[in-house]
Amino acid sequence: MSITISDQAHAGIHGLHTYVPGKPIEDLKRELGLSSIVKLASNENPFGTAPAVKRALAAFARDGAGDLHRYPDGNGFALKQKLAARHDIEMSRITLGNGSNDVLELTARVFLGPGKNAVFSQYAFAVYPIVARAVNAETRVVPALGAEADMPYGHDLDGFLDHIDDNTGVVFIASPNNPTGTWLAPDAIESFMDAVPKGVVVVLDEAYLEYQADSERPNSRAWLERYPNLIVTRTFSKIYGMAGLRVGYALSSAEVADLINRVRQPFNVNMVAMHCAEAALADDDFVVYSTETNAVQRASLAQELEARGLSCLPSQANFITFDCGRESTPLFDAMLREGVIVRPLASYEMPEHLRVTVGSETENQIFLSALDTVLAAQ
């Protein structure tokens, strides 16, 4: 019997589909010949990149570009040193990633594989099943809370516990969660961690943490001292506006960090990205402006959507997911022709929902105007 190339791929790969990101602006320009486009599909910071990062990038281009023929510091010492000071944690407990996605993938490579299973929620970040199946692990999807729950479509942590068994390697939870915007109360996460078997790794994905209200934000750093099986992941992509540079990191026990770093690719974060991330950590003014403005615009945008009879999920992130009351893909396609890019959620098994990034006030008004045009034509 002859073996094909496809046969050589393991079963987990055959169950995967290529991840499709938010539609790029340049693609839409080429396809429809539009010159003015508003992209609200990928939860990017509408206020651009932190000013401190721009200054650092300009300084690097002026003074440091001559070092680009050298490899970056594979250990990321300078960035880790600043992160350690920010979080009051030992450098040995920090893992750098090419975005926080990279850390999720590294975690799966270490703690998952054939015979193991990963547990995560329905309507959760698409990367969780990708990284689990890529190492041929079983995926266990926990049904989300119902539409009538206090946190509709949110994580059901009791259901998570029901799905964990002796073969569970990793549990992925996100707060706030993408694509729903829902979140978990700090005491609920803490109770969950108390109940999870100590040999099961729990990843707390906090990519959108900075957008949460202070009253809702957990002190996950403190939990790391009590739960050596906890990994907390963060990113520079969202709040610092560095999505194009790809920098993320994880905080964990030194033991977990050591295991993950054994499979981390050499030089997985480039020299320019690390240089800019160091600068970003000092730009607290941009963080405050971004979070405060997002909170105001998020509330205003939700109010406008609700006024149009569109039900919004509760959100503590920089986006809103809303129920269109019909198949959302035709609305998405029509919005493209109006020059506005949002995110349809059929791939997340939410075929009647759209996700829209909270933009600037001007961008939000353009989105609402386009939405009105599209809805009137249906």
- Within this chain, do residues 55 and 45 fall inside the same structural domain, yes or no? no
| The domain boundary residue, chosen from 257, 280, 303 | 280
Looking at residue 272, its pLDDT comes to 96
331 by DSSP, 3-state: which?
helix
Q: What is the mean pLDDT of residues 219-229?
A: 97
In a domain, 109, yes or no: yes
Q: 213 and 66: one domain?
A: yes
Same-domain check for residues 149 and 242: yes
The C-alpha atoms of residue 6 and residue 15 are separated, in whole angstroms, by 12
**Residue 105 and residue 74 share a domain:** yes
- The answer on 333 and 200 residing in a single domain is no
For the ranges 27-41, 278-292, 350-364, the lowest mean pLDDT is seen at 27-41
Instruction: Check pLDDT > 70 for residue 1.
Output: no
Q: What is the CATH number of the domain that holds 110?
A: 3.40.640.10
- Domain of residue 333 covers 20-49+284-377
- Output the pLDDT for position 63: 86
Amino acid at 27: D
Token pair for residue 113?
């594989």
Compute the average pLDDT of residues 232-258. 97
Question: Is residue 12 assigned to a domain?
Answer: no
- The residue among 152, 210, 142, 214 whose CA lies nearest residue 180 is 152
pLDDT for the residue numbered 17: 75
Is the domain of 110 the same as that of 182? Answer: yes
Residue 14 has pLDDT above 80, yes or no: no
- Indicate whether 347 and 358 sit together in one domain: yes
In a domain, 5, yes or no: no
What's the structural domain count of the chain? Answer: 2
**Between 114 and 32, whose confidence is greater?**
114
pLDDT number for residue 120: 98
pLDDT tens per residue, range 153-194: 999 999 999 999 999 999 999 999 999 999 999 999 999 999
Q: What is the pTM of this model?
A: 0.94
Task: Give the domain-ending residue among 214, 245, 280.
Answer: 280
Rg from Cα positions in the chain? 21
Q: Give the domain-ending residue among 225, 252, 280.
A: 280
- Residue 355 — very low, low, confident or very high, per pLDDT cuts 50/70/90? very high
Say yes or no: 360 and 322 in one domain.
yes
| 146 in the same domain as 265 | yes
Cα separation, 250 vs 103, in Å, equals 7
In percent, the amount of the chain with pLDDT more than 70 equals 99
24 and 60 in a single domain? The answer is: no
DSSP string, 168-214: EEEEEEESS-TTT-----HHHHHHHHHHS-TTSEEEEE-TTGGGS-G
Residue 65, pLDDT score: 76
Whether residues 76 and 121 fall in one domain: yes
Tell me the per-residue pLDDT of 112-146, one tens digit each, with 9 for 90 and over. 999 999 999 999 999 999 999 999 999 999 999 99
Work out the average pLDDT over 237-256. Answer: 97
- DSSP, residue by residue, 74-129: TT-HHHHHHHHHHHT--GGGEEEESSHHHHHHHHHHHH--TT-EEEEETT--THHH
Is residue 8 one of the residues assigned to a domain? no
Please tell me the total number of residues recorded for the chain in this structure.
Answer: 378
Instruction: Look up residue 291 and give its amino acid.
Output: T
What tokens were used for 257?
Answer: 């960090």
Rounded distance, CA 173 to CA 138, Å?
A: 17
Give the number of other CB atoms < 10 A from CB of residue 293.
15
The pLDDT-based confidence of 34 (bands split at 50, 70, 90) is confident
Rounded CA gap, 154 and 146, in Å? Answer: 8
Please state whether beta strands 94-97 and 138-142 pair in parallel, antiparallel, or not at all (unpaired): unpaired
- Do residues 86 and 78 make contact, with C-beta atoms less than 8 angstroms apart? no
**176 in any annotated domain:** yes
Do residues 294 and 151 both lie within one domain?
Answer: no
Span of 13-17, 197-201, 285-289 with lowest mean pLDDT? 13-17
